[in-house]
Every structure is written in structure tokens, then in C-alpha cells.
Amino acid sequence: MSLEDAVRDIRRGKIVLVYDFDDRERETDMTMASQFVTPDSVRTMRKYAGGLICTTTPFNVAREIGLPFMSDVFSDDSGKYPLLRAMAPTDIPYDNTRSSFGLTINHRRTYTGITDNDRALTISEYARTIFSDVPAKERADAIGKNFRAPGHVHLLNASERILESRKGHTELTTALMIMANVNPSATICEMMGDDGNAMGKEEARTYASKNGLVFVEGKDILDAWRRR
């Protein structure tokens, strides 16, 4: 299956599998467009991927509505809590850029926020809100009104020059959404193996084949992005 197959399935609201690089995390993430997330897709990620379910935000959108990187929040508060500065993620073994983690959120209509129904509501409403056709101030106000933090959905902020300074799953999957011409927010979850490690690339490829899913590698996304 090809990148074109992945783009087609993203447009259809299906999950695709994205492996990053042999010299990076060496992980495969279940990936889909956030606008299409349902309780069933959250359940699939929870049961058959098993990692952390996260939702990406394009850099320009995060900047427009004032969504910070979590590392910036920690840095700004390190005067009051010095331990935060000591814990700065400056030694990530597979990446020499800052972590893409942003805030964690729950929609205010959720109960605990962790159930499949709750997380699907949070993700789908978040995607609808940040891409609504209103000024940034109104979108920011809607986020404050309708979401609380911390919560159970982890937001990831894509880097400013996507797939240039950083080539993580946050950027790969956000770029995939852009190429599919859907709202550029991906919901992703790492696939875990039964040996205590991330699922190996070939095992993930076999899972994709058995379940009718497209498997695509980061190098294919990166090559297509550079040709755009």
C-alpha cells in the first residue's frame, strides 16, 4: 500500500499506521483525523495500540489561540517551582528538539474524562473548535469556556517549520492530514508490543495487513512533503 492509500483512508475517517524512522523512536502510531474521532476509534486505539492517546495542533493555530508548549509553562513557573527547571527535557535520547507536549484537556461535558465516550467528545469538539471559521479570540474564548485543564487528552503542538526542525509523529501525522486536505489535527496512539517494548515495525506491518489498514513509513511522508 502507498502513501496515496493512506491519504485516501484519512479522508474516509479510517485509522492508518505511521512508523517514524529506524534512527528515531522506531515506533508505529495508530493515526486518524481528529475531526472523525468516535468512541469506537478511541476504543480501538486503547485496546490494540495501548500507548498514549494524543491530539496534535498545528503550530500556527496553537500560537493564534495561545496554547503553550508544556515545556514553556514549566519554564515560566520554574521560579516558583525550581524542580521544574531541573526536570527540563534536555536529554531526550531520540530527539534534540523540545518535547511537543502541550496541555492536557477534558471537555466540560465529560464526567471523569477518561472513558472512550469522554475522550472522543473532547477530541472531536476540540478539533471542531480550533478550526471553526471565527477569529482567533473567539476560538480561544470557546476553548476556555468549553474545556478544562488538566485532563485526559494530551495535546501535542507541531513545530513551526513542520518536518524541518523536528520529524516526530506529531509532525508526520499533522503533515499527513494536510496532504489529505482534512483539518490538520491528528489523533495518534503508539502501538505497544507484548514484550514490554514498542511493537516492532514488521509486527505492526503484519497487524496492518491482517486488519485491512494502511501502513506508511515516515520517510514516505517526508519525501512527499518535500515534493509539495
Residues noted as catalytic: 29, 54, 94, 106, 152, 190
**Helix intervals (H) in 149-200:** 169-180
Helix (H) or strand (E) holding 61: helix 59-65
**Preceding peptide of 150 cis, ω within 30°:** yes
Q: What angle do CA 166, 184, 94 make, to 5 degrees?
A: 20
State the angle between helix axes of 218-227 and 3-11 in degrees (0 to 180), rounded to the nearest 10.
Answer: 90
- Decide: 53 and 119 in contact? Cβ < 8 Å: yes
The string of DSSP letters for 80-140 reads T-HHHHHT-----TT-SS---EEEEEEETT-SSS-SHHHHHHHHHHHHHHHTSSS-HHHHH
- Main-chain dihedrals φ then ψ at residue 5, nearest 5 degrees: -65, -40
Strands 54-57, 147-157: parallel, antiparallel or unpaired by DSSP?
Answer: parallel
Question: Residue 18's beta-bridge partner residues?
Answer: 29, 216
CA angle 68, 50, 212 (to 5 degrees): 110
Phi, psi (deg, nearest 5) at residue 107: -70, 145
